Amino acid sequence: MLEDFIESNKLKARIMPFHRSSNLIKCRFFLADESPVLVVASAFARLDEQKIRKELECKMLEDPLEKEALEMTGYPLDFLPPISIYGIRVLIDKKLFGNGNLYCKVSETDCLEITAEEIREQNDEAVVGDYSR
């Protein structure tokens, strides 16, 4: 599914064997007052849920069950990519920009190599902001 998205959209991103990097990112999935949202940030950063709630103008920010996340995104929680997820609002931490290639674990053995700019371009109505500490 992810490989098809990359190919059909002619992205520079690519799937490659996983390797550790200081530019490792995580995609955290939440239900914001029951509406799905994906937050993309450095894997080493701590998300600031208060800032996220303020951006989304929501009261509750909950972690979904694995089954719910899989049904809504098509991907398991541990391997959510920052692209190829339709109909879900995406928040991108501004600290990712200007860091060159980013790496997101998309399976036990593989990662997605992509830039923050390409993540923003491939998510309709993505919002860039300060979402980590």
H runs (alpha helix) in 9-130: 49-56, 66-73, 116-121
What region, left, alpha or beta, does residue 94 occupy, with left being phi > 0 and alpha being psi -120 to 50 degrees? Answer: alpha
Q: Would you state the structure tokens that stand for residue 101, as one six-digit string?
A: 């290639």
Per-residue confidence (pLDDT) for residue 19, from 0 to 100: 86
Residue extents of the structural domains in the chain? 2-129
Query: Options 3.30.750.24, 3.30.70.920, 3.90.870.10, 3.90.960.10; which CATH number does 2-129 get?
Result: 3.90.960.10
Please list the ranges in the chain whose pLDDT falls under 70.
Answer: none
Q: Are 67 and 76 in contact (CB under 8 A)?
A: no
Per-residue confidence (pLDDT) for residue 62, from 0 to 100: 95
Q: Would you state the structure tokens that stand for residue 96, as one six-digit string?
A: 């990712």
Q: Length of the chain in residues, anyone?
A: 133
38: buried, middle or exposed (CB in 10 Å: 19+, 13-18, 0-12)? Answer: buried
pTM, rounded to two decimals: 0.95
